[in-house]
Chain A
Amino acid sequence: MINIIIIDDEPLAAALVEDYLSEFPEASVKAICHDGFEGLKAIKEHEPDLIFLDVQMPKITGFEMLELLEKTPAVIFTTAYDAYAMKAFDSHAVDYLLKPFSKERFAMAFEKFLKLQGNEENVPNLLLSKIELSGPSERIVLKDKNEIKIIPSSEVRYLEANDDYVNIYTVEGKFLKNKTMKFFEAILNPKQFVRVHRSYIVNLGEITKIEPYEKDGYLLLLKSGAKVPVSKTGYPKLKQALGL
């Protein structure tokens, strides 16, 4: 049996996936959810093998929902958005269905999942999966003590690498997110956020002063009083972003 959850904010769209799945006797639909929050709950409860996931949904997008999961099931995206370009990232997408899709195209995606199911470690990198949004994200979605927080990127002061996590320093305080620096570098607006150091990404609007520091290094003073080091490779990037 393959446990499946369908997450789509349009009931008819979810129903279509359900109808298509009825052709596969091994597929068992455990839940149909209409937003990312319901999706998170259902995934926690049912631990599905596969989810069908819409991208544009209320409050949080399908991508943002995935970011909040500790263990990600295999994903087949279903979306009308061809504006999203594919880009390499480490999510578990098996395939990407553009709405409206045919029964044959759907079957292809599902069979692809079946074939991959045996060797789990192939799934993550199969398709160049995490799909880049048509523009930079203006917010960060994260989990804080079982509560989902949506933080506008203008409220983010700087980010700091912390092993497998990233510390996000915001107006409201410090938050953790289980993602890489590379991830944040990719999703945040490059006009506002610059990776000035291997371990630091800083919000340009927060910088009050740039000071020389040790040998050919620099130190940024932020409005909040925090100090952020700038590396040799980070300095030219910072200069360029500030138009110096």
Chain B
Amino acid sequence: MISQVFKFSNSLWYKAILIILLWIVGVAYLIHSFGVSLSVALFDVSIHTAFLTLGFFLLENIFRFYSPQGRSVFIFMIFPISVSLMVFFSGMFSMEFFTKNEDDYLRLMSNAFFVKLFIIFLLCLCYTVILLFQSKLETQLQHKEREEQIQKLAKEAELYQLRQQLQPHFLFNSLNSISSLLHRSPEQAQEMVIQLSEFLRKTIRKNDQKWISLEEELAFLHLFVGIEKVRFGHRLHVDFDQKGEVGVCKLPPLLVQPLLENAIKHGLYGLLGEVNIRVSFSSEEAYLVVRIVNPYDPQAGQAGGEGFGLEVIRRRLFLLFGRHDLLATQADAKLFKVQIKIPQNYDQYYHH
């Protein structure tokens, strides 16, 4: 508080100086009424106020870096006590130095020795209490702010994920395929409706908190590829393969599917003709490693708007594991490869 006043950055210091002046005049008048000459009284109060201000400044700096927790009342009392002693004795010695001949004054001071010490102590104590209240309030505010921020981030991530899951383009084109099949082959249309419903149901039910087995994930991916093949069966081929002991591995839901969707999209829209995509799962040390390889056109550029969905996955991996190194990509002249590593010894039920 005092340090704020001394920044002179706002009009606060005018008020502060006014209050200090009033205080000096008031207390000096009080001392004067005990028979001390006014000039000496004023001098005394000014000196003490100066030391007191210095003491407050000291207290403020101490409590900025140290805020006592709960039981340590003694430690907490040490600071105002020592500061008030410092203020008291510095005041006393400097007054003795400057006013050797003022008998009235010196007599009054020796009589009021403890009263004065006590008053200075009380002032320091009050200031300490105010400081502590302020710092508590600030921590609480910070806490609240941080909590709000965390909640906001969580909500944002959730929304982002939802949008990612329900790709309108995928959904409407699939519905259009059904509409078309109804004319030509109602049985296939029905099959597609069921596939799509199952896919949507699984998408909606899934949340980050519960990991799923690789088997479940594979069934989900096959479902997704099945729908895409109804739309692009003439061009699209997706191969799945597994290496090593992957049967026991688990993974967060909806992490691989968006990557596969991306790979399919870039393959189908970047190239003419057939598109072969390879998805492989392998167990390497403490990780389940997923690799997706798709052909692409490095020259293609973007027709507009749509950013690469990889950023979303990178972000999700970071939210899940707090690491940035789990997703890697590699692009050569014809193939685009993406690899994600899913830690297996991670607490799978942990979430923020």
Residues of A within 8 A of B (CB): 9-13, 15-16, 19, 35, 37, 56-61, 64, 80-83, 98-100, 133-139, 150-153, 187
Shortest distance between the CB of A126 and any CB in chain B (Å)? 24
Question: Are B176 and A16 neighbours in the complex by a CB distance under 8 Å?
Answer: yes
B294 to chain A, nearest CB (A): 13
9-residue interface stretch from B17-25, B213-221, B264-272: B264-272
Question: Once the chains bind, are B302 and A139 in contact (CB under 8 Å)?
Answer: yes
- A residues within 8 A CB of B168? 80, 82-83
Q: Are A57 and B304 in contact (CB under 8 A)?
A: no
Q: Does B329 contact A (CB under 8 A)?
A: no
CB contact between B176 and one of A12, A134, A135 (< 8 Å): that residue: A12
The answer to the question of B179 belonging to the interface, with a C-beta cut-off of 8 Å to chain A, is: yes
Q: How distant is A168 from chain B, measured CB to nearest CB, in Å?
A: 14
Minimum C-beta distance from B155 to chain A (A) = 23
Is B304 a contact partner of A133 (Cβ separation < 8 A)?
yes
Chain B nearest CB, measured from A55 CB (Å): 9
How far apart sit A64 and B300, CA to CA, in the bound complex (Å)? 13
Q: Which residue of chain A has the shortest Cβ distance to B171 in the bound complex?
A: A80
Let me know if B305 and A9 touch, CB within 8 A.
no
Contacts of A80 in B (CB 8 A): 168-169, 172-173, 176
Residues from chain B with Cβ under 8 Å of A81 in the complex: 169
Nearest Cβ distance between residue A49 and chain B, in whole angstroms?
A: 24
Report, as a range, how many residues of chain B touch the other chain.
Answer: 20 to 34
Q: Is the CB of A150 within 8 A of B301?
A: yes
- A10-B231 contact given A16-B183, A59-B269, CB 8 Å threshold: yes
Determine whether the beta carbon of B271 is less than 8 Å from that of A13: no
19 contacting pairs across A/B (C-beta < 8 A): A9-B268, A10-B177, A11-B234, A12-B176, A12-B177, A12-B181, A13-B177, A15-B180, A37-B272, A56-B169, A58-B268, A58-B270, A59-B269, A59-B297, A80-B172, A133-B305, A134-B305, A138-B302, A153-B301
Across the interface, A12 reaches (CB within 8 A) one of B169, B180, B301, B305, namely B180
Bound-state Cα–Cα, A169 to B177, Å:
42
CB of B184 within 8 A of chain A?
Answer: yes
Partner of B172, one of A37, A99, A135, A139: A99
Is A19 in contact with B304, judged by CB distance below 8 angstroms? no
State whether B303 touches A139 (Cβ < 8 A).
Answer: yes
Using a CB–CB cutoff of 8 Å, the interface residues on chain B facing chain A are 168-169, 172-173, 175-181, 183-184, 230-232, 234, 268-272, 297, 299-306
B306 to chain A, nearest CB (A): 7
CB distance A138 to B297 under 8 Å?
no
A134 touches B302 (CB 8 A): no
* Residue contact B180 to A19, C-beta cutoff 8 Å: yes
The answer to whether A99 touches B304 (Cβ under 8 A) is no
Given contacts A15-B180, A19-B183, contact A134 B300 (CB under 8 A): no
Query: Do the beta carbons of A134 and B306 come within 8 Å of each other?
Result: yes
Residue pair B232, A139 in contact (C-beta under 8 Å):
no
A10→B305 CA distance, assembly (Å) = 22
By beta carbon, the residue of chain B nearest A78 is B176
Contacts of A98 in B (CB 8 A): 172
Interface centre among B175, B180, B183, B300, by most chain A C-beta atoms within 10 angstroms, is B180
Q: Which residues of B contact A138 (CB under 8 A)?
A: 301-304
Query: Which 3 residue pairs spanning A and B have beta carbons closest together?
Result: A135-B305, A133-B304, A139-B301
A59 partner residues in chain B, CB cutoff 8 A: 269-272, 297, 300
In Å, the complex CA distance between A137 and B301 comes to 9
Give every chain B residue within 8 A of A37 (Cβ-Cβ): 272
Contact A152 B299 (CB under 8 A): yes
A107 vs B175: C-alpha distance when bound (angstroms): 19
The residue in chain B whose Cβ has the minimal distance to the Cβ of A134 is: B305
Instruction: Tell me the nearest residue of chain A to B305, going by C-beta.
Output: A135
User: Across the interface, do A58 and B272 meet the contact criterion of CB distance under 8 Å?
Assistant: yes
Q: How far is the CB of A48 from chain B (nearest CB, A)?
A: 21
Q: Are B272 and A137 in contact, with the CB atoms below 8 A?
A: no
